[in-house]
Amino acid sequence: MLAVRDLEGWYGESHVLHGVAFDVAEGEVVTLLGRNGAGKTSTIKAIMGVLPKRTGSIRYQGAETASLSPDRIARLGIAWCPEERGIFASLTVRENLTLPPVIAPGGVALDEIYALFPNLKERLGSQGTKLSGGEQQMLAIARIMRTGAKLLLLDEPTEGLAPVIIQQIGRTIRDLKARGLTVLLVEQNFRFARTVADRHYVMEHGRIVDMIGNDALDANMDKLHGYLGV
Amino acid sequence: MDTIFGIPAVALYGQLMLGLINGSFYALLSLGLAVIFGMMNVINFTHGAQFMMGAFVAWMLLNWIGLGYWWALILAPLIVGATGVLIERLMIQRLYKLDHLYGLLLTFGLALIIEGLFRNYFGSSGLPYRIPAELQGAMDLGFMFLPNYRAWVIVASIVVCFATWYVIERTKLGAYLRAATERPLLVQAFGVNVPRMITLTYGFGVALAAFAGVLAAPIYSVNPNMGSQLIIVVFAVVVIGGMGSIAGSVLTGFGLGIVEGLTRVFYPEGSATVIFVIMAIVLLVRPAGLFGRA
């Protein structure tokens, strides 16, 4: 579904991605693991087209997207949940939730979203940024479930959240997978990642340095500890 | 009942009315500036020239093609708005990555060029534009006579300002605009063509200025300097209200028009400077403006 090859990326003068290459198959949940500054978020941003400069090849369902603008990439069926969540302060919860245009049929209906996230339903009229951190994360994920996008890019959805909320996000990701959606997940917390993912790519210094299947995680624990420095 | 605080009531009402008229123009123009600044972070110094273009396009439509006031009220904003779209596409768009100052300098330069061209072609003595037949005459309100055209200007300004506020604060399209003001890249990553939206927003802000220009044509004479005289005050209004606040710019526009009118009654010598005095005080006490977000 997604094939990344020779991906280079820059923030101004700073060269942050050095030939990133990996694949994601349809229906998979795949993580990018790695330390701070390894290039995980930059890789997601490059796929979404919001990194200031990128070269190389990013093919989505066979189509080359590395030269497209973010809105064109979104219209192909890719949706992004940024690390900082990106909840709009000048919009209500309802406006935040319904902001992303529906780009294809097959999105999750609002009623189902309210069933998954009852908290959001109670706060529809509130200002988006008045929600708690966990609720804002739910909102950020919920609003891209509606759009019919088939590949979801989730950037550290568990960062800074309480364990009970992390569990709810884990259930949501498994639910998305059950619906046939594909998820590329950036994580530092591999204890969480292993509860949802099929495969893990490890990034270091702007490169993919390893790929570990979820079932091979235990056997590779020493190696992984070395990569992540935990 | 003939005097209020020792001032003849008729003079007071008359100046209040004049204040409301001026406030109508302040509100429409500062609204356009606020919409443009909110979306693009560009302080549109061409706004006064675009106001003037609105009045001139109304004059040209009448004298060159024979299309009257009501046609001008629709066509002039569209025509001048289209020139705004061109300006954004060809010039302003290249400046977004640079400091705000560059946008300000570009639009200031454009204003000088546009006003120079009109002065060169039409002279600076001013051209007459008649009040449309439907709006001639005046109403007797009992305590004063209200010219119909002035009443229309106030009503039209309030309706357009309210409609603009409603679209931005209460509709889906407005939600896109507000969201793109906060995080344009994220809104674009949702599949919205944000660059096109920015271009159209600039065109809309410019069209508001041109609409105000058509409203002004029968009141002030149509001349190339009519915008630069007004826009200085409008910038003060925007500073007082706070850049980027939609409702704030409208309320401040009308409010300061009235303050100016009252000053003309009670202390005529201060009427030309009162807005700038208020601006200085607001800048000292609340630098972000009365309605601005710091």
CA-based nearest distance B156→chain A, Å: 28
Q: What is the pLDDT of residue A22?
A: 97
CA-based nearest distance B94→chain A, Å: 16
| Least confident window among A131-135, B62-66, B140-144, B165-169 | B140-144
DSSP secondary structure letters along A49-103: T-SSEEEEEEEETTEE-TTS-HHHHHHHTEEEE-TT----TTSBHHHHHH-SPP-
Q: How far apart are the first and last CA of chain A?
A: 32
With contacts defined as CB-CB under 8 Å, which chain B residues touch A152? none
Question: Mean pLDDT over all residues of chain A?
Answer: 95
Decide: B28 and B161 in contact? Cβ < 8 Å: yes
Q: Give dist(CA A136, CA A176) in Å, integer.
A: 18
By the 10 Å C-beta count (0-12 exposed, 13-18 middle, 19+ buried), B204 is classed as: buried
Reported pTM = 0.91
With contacts defined as CB-CB under 8 Å, which chain A residues touch B191? 71, 74-75, 100-101, 103, 147
pLDDT tens digits, one per residue of A30-67: 999 999 999 999 999 999 999 999 999 999 999 999 99
User: Are B179 and A49 inside 8 Å of each other by CB?
Assistant: no
User: Are A91 and B178 inside 8 Å of each other by CB?
Assistant: yes
Which of B179, B181, B193 faces A99 most closely, judged by CB atoms? B179
Which of B182, B189, B193 faces A88 most closely, judged by CB atoms? B182
Q: What percentage of chain B has pLDDT greater than the value 90?
A: 77
User: Are A91 and B190 inside 8 Å of each other by CB?
Assistant: no
User: Are B179 and A70 inside 8 Å of each other by CB?
Assistant: no
Q: What is the pLDDT of residue B41?
A: 86
Give the best residue of B177, B188, B190, B198 to mutate against chain A (max A CB count within 10 A).
B190
pLDDT tens digits, one per residue of A10-39: 998 999 999 999 999 999 999 999 999 999
Q: Give dist(CA A4, CA A32) in Å, integer.
A: 13
Q: Measuring CA to CA, which residue among B64, B294, B257, B36 is closest to residue B164?
A: B36
pLDDT tens digits, one per residue of B169-215: 999 999 999 999 999 999 999 999 999 999 999 999 999 999 999 99
With contacts defined as CB-CB under 8 Å, which chain A residues touch B176? 99
How many residues make up chain B in this entry?
Answer: 294
Give the best residue of B170, B188, B198 to mutate against chain A (max A CB count within 10 A).
B188
On whether any CB of chain B is under 8 Å from the CB of A103, the answer is yes
Residues 6 or more apart whose CB falls under 8 angstroms from that of A31 comprise: A184, A185, A186, A187, A190, A193, A197, A199, A200, A201
Q: Give dist(CA B170, CA B92) in Å, integer.
A: 28
Please give the average per-residue pLDDT across A188-192, as a whole number.
89
User: Are A101 and B192 inside 8 Å of each other by CB?
Assistant: yes
Q: Give dist(CA B288, CA B292) in Å, integer.
A: 5
Give the best residue of A99, A150, A151 to mutate against chain B (max B CB count within 10 A).
A99
SS3 per residue for chain B: CCEECCEEHHHHHHHHHHHHHHHHHHHHHHHHHHHHHHHHCCCCCCHHHHHHHHHHHHHHHHHHHCCCHHHHHHHHHHHHHHHHHHHHHHCHHHHCCCCHHHHHHHHHHHHHHHHHHHHHHHCCCCECCCCCHHHCCEEECCCCEEEHHHHHHHHHHHHHHHHHHHHHHHCHHHHHHHHHHHCHHHHHHCCCCHHHHHHHHHHHHHHHHHHHHHHHCCCCCECCCHHHHHHHHHHHHHHHHCCCCHHHHHHHHHHHHHHHHHHHHHCHHHCCCHHHHHHHHHHHHCCCCCCCCC
Q: What is the pLDDT of residue B294?
A: 56
Q: At what angle do helices B246-266 and B148-170 cross, to 10 degrees?
A: 150
On whether any CB of chain B is under 8 Å from the CB of A80, the answer is yes
Q: What is the pLDDT of residue B7?
A: 78
By the 10 Å C-beta count (0-12 exposed, 13-18 middle, 19+ buried), B287 is classed as: exposed
pLDDT tens digits, one per residue of B70-100: 999 999 999 999 999 999 999 999 988 888 8
CA A64 to chain centre: 20
With contacts defined as CB-CB under 8 Å, which chain B residues touch A148? none
Chain A residue with minimum CA distance to B188 = A71
